[in-house]
Amino acid sequence: MARKTIRSIPQERAPMPVLDAAERATNFDEVSLGFDEPNALVECERCLICPEPACVAGCPVEIDIPGFIQKMLKKDYHGAWDTLTDSTFLPAVCGRVCPQEDQCEGVCAVAVSGGLEPVAIGRLERWLGDKAVKEGWKKKSHIETNRFKVGIVGSGPASMACAADLAKAGCKVTVFEALHAPGGVLRYGIPEFRLPNSVVDAEIANLEALGVEIRCNTLVGRLFTVEQMLEEMGFDAVFVGTGAGTPKFMDIPGENLNGVLSANELLTRCNLMHAGDFPKFDTPLEVGRKIAVIGSGNTAMDAMRVSKRLGAEEVHCVYRRTEAECPARQEELHHAQEEGIEFHWLTAPVELLGDAKNNVRALRCLRMELGEPDDSGRRRPVPVPGSEFEFEADTVVYAIGTSPNPILGQTSNIQLNKWGYIDTDDELATSLAGVYAGGDIVTGAATVILAMGAGRRAAASIRRYLGIRDSMSVYEPEHSGFENTLFGIDMSEKNFVHLRQI
């Protein structure tokens, strides 16, 4: 086959249907409908199969992207899914929620040197992930069990990835979740129209199929401590992936008025507690007529689009910088704009005003302009003198970021940094022997795929700590000779796990 060139590939991206903006803004159906098979194959044709693919390096979990695309072109979809899931445990999730434009697709040669739209790697990943769920494909690994017990705190993406890797390595893995349903941010945070709960359920089922036990309603730190897990409950190692779930407020007057809530509360009531189906479900959620969401990250987009679907007449985004600095994924911003959400850039609230019944009625805002660059390299917004104005709203939602959950810090001796995140070394080991941590609780709020990457790195560290042979790496005998080895197998290994695909 002649080598593909930028001229020989389809120039345009294969189309992916989305629900009509006016229609979808009234329901919770998934917005992006995904490729069909012919379109997926067209998109695969667009991949140049670069010999030194930048996309693999651009992926936090280093998926062999040209590898799975080549298998797809041969219509070996199961094989392609195998390649994909060698690196990622949650293709149906990541295909939907990864910021591909900053990762694999951002460095794709088709775009960087070819000047075309990059290969839609995320959509191809999603297509394979969905196909696997639909066809019931399972990674049938033969797992040789060992004697190690590993406890995992939290059940979000970092924990799921860590649990999967350790279960594959033969450990008895138990995941502890404080809420009544597993999945962490995938469950309570990301709304149904962006990541259907059925997809999360399928990924959780895959985890359980690997032998992982998930225990909900278990608040680690308070029901038992991390130290007790190691000392009394027989866990040989612990992974902490509790996330950065504590919502931030701005500490401006009026924040305690009724009708002011965090995006976390809005999304939790809606996604986890199904408040949208009140009174069939018991948890209420009152969205007003005119909603203002402060912040413009992905969480803000989710909060705004959820509000719209819950029946708000007007949804406004209030952000102190400009659209160029907007931290949300472009696709999310674009979808939000399509759905009629109004954006007020360079606007900062300074006070929330209430009515006689203690309900919020308006925001007092300042107009901003961009000044000198700040520490993050973005131009710092500075207030325009005398630009104060009132902005009417009966619900105000804060989506300006999160801080670390304080419970583990309160209940264990694990060392935190000055912002309250868990301190780890490069191996993700914490100050407590045998305790590893990863995801948002270490780095601060980031993405699903970065959390998964951290979960996998921690799993590798835990395997090393427990002395489990790492099936991913080739054993190198020590330079000093063979005195500690048996036919080249390190005698300090505590098991000889085999992982073989059937």
Partner 1 sequence: MSSSETQGSDPAAQPGQDIMPNDEMSNATGFPIVTRTDFSETTFLLEVEHPQMARAARPGQFVIVMLDDHGERIPLTIADFDRDKGTVTLVIQAVGKSSREMQARCQVGQTLFGIAGPMGIPSEVSHAKKVICVGGGLGVAPIFPQARAFKEAGAYVIGVVGFRSASLVFWEEKFRSVCDEFIICTDDGTAGIKGLVTQGIETAITTHGDIDEVVAIGPPIMMRACAETTRPHGIKTMVSLNPIMVDGTGMCGGCRVRVDNKVKFACVDGPDFDGHAVDFDDLMARLQRYRPQEAAAMERYSESCKRLLVEEEVR
Least distance (Å) between residue 502 CB and partner 1:
32
Tell me the chain's radius of gyration from C-alpha atoms. 24
Reported in sequence order, the residue ranges of 8-160 that DSSP labels E, i.e. its strands, are 141-143, 149-153
Least distance (Å) between residue 176 CB and partner 1:
11
399 contacts 418 by C-beta, under 8 angstroms: no
Q: Which is nearer to partner 1, 53 or 221 (CB)?
A: 221
Least distance (Å) between residue 324 CB and partner 1:
30
Can you count the helices (H) and strands (E) in the chain? Answer: 18, 20
Q: Which is nearer to partner 1, 97 or 399 (CB)?
A: 399
Burial class (CB in 10 A: 0-12, 13-18, 19+), 21: middle
What values do phi and psi take at 73, rounded to 5? -60, -30
CB atoms closer than 10 angstroms to residue 202: 19
Least distance (Å) between residue 203 CB and partner 1:
20
Least distance (Å) between residue 405 CB and partner 1:
5
Give the total residue count for the chain.
502
Least distance (Å) between residue 256 CB and partner 1:
5
Between CA 495 and CA 469 the distance in angstroms is: 7
256 contacts 354 by C-beta, under 8 angstroms: no
Q: Give the residues across from 348 on adjacent strands.
A: 366
Least distance (Å) between residue 185 CB and partner 1:
10
Site residues, partner 1 (CB under 8 A): 178-180, 188, 216-219, 222-224, 245-247, 249, 251, 255-256, 258, 261-262, 264-265, 268-269, 272-274, 278-284, 286, 357-358, 398, 405-407, 410
Least distance (Å) between residue 223 CB and partner 1:
5
Burial class (CB in 10 A: 0-12, 13-18, 19+), 16: middle
Question: What's the gap between Cα 436 and its chain centre?
Answer: 19
Angle ∠(316,99,35) on CA atoms, nearest 5:
100
Between CA 112 and CA 53 the distance in angstroms is: 12
Between CA 42 and CA 35 the distance in angstroms is: 10
Between CA 115 and CA 55 the distance in angstroms is: 16
Least distance (Å) between residue 269 CB and partner 1:
6
Question: What's the gap between Cα 33 and its chain centre?
Answer: 20
Q: Which is nearer to partner 1, 263 or 459 (CB)?
A: 263
Least distance (Å) between residue 219 CB and partner 1:
6
Between CA 76 and CA 277 the distance in angstroms is: 42
Q: Can you tell me whether residue 337 is helix, strand or coil?
A: helix
